[in-house]
Amino acid sequence: MNAGETFEITLEKITEASFILVPNSCVNQDNDGYFVYQIKRRKGFLGQEYYIERLNIFIGDSDHKNTIVIRGITFFVPIVLVSDKVISDGQTILLKNQDDFFEN
């Protein structure tokens, strides 16, 4: 290198491991372990309806905001982030932004 020269450096880390970050608020725990609620769709009496299903996960490290999910979900699995009511497995739910996750 000489004075005044510029160059670009690309730093990469190649690894087989990749993890999903989820907000701490959507991770639940009971006697069977950690889980999130997956959003699913089915035919109902009035057309398509959305419901939730328990999805067991294995977690890694977490901070004050997010938790690493090391096994149990992929990036494209829609999960419940926020609910203004208590929810449980199999319950029908109302989504505000279903077009973001499900095709028409």
Q: What is the CATH number of the domain that holds 63?
A: 2.40.420
In a domain, 83, yes or no: yes
How many separate domains does the chain show? 1
In a domain, 74, yes or no: yes
Q: Which residues pair with 79 in a beta bridge?
A: 38
In a domain, 5, yes or no: no
In a domain, 50, yes or no: yes
In a domain, 81, yes or no: yes
50 SS3 class:
strand
Give residue 41's domain range. Answer: 20-100
Sorting pLDDT into bands at 50, 70 and 90, what band is 94?
A: confident
In a domain, 57, yes or no: yes
pTM of the full structure: 0.73
Q: Give the C-alpha separation, 50 to 14, whole Å.
A: 38
% of the chain at pLDDT higher than 70: 80
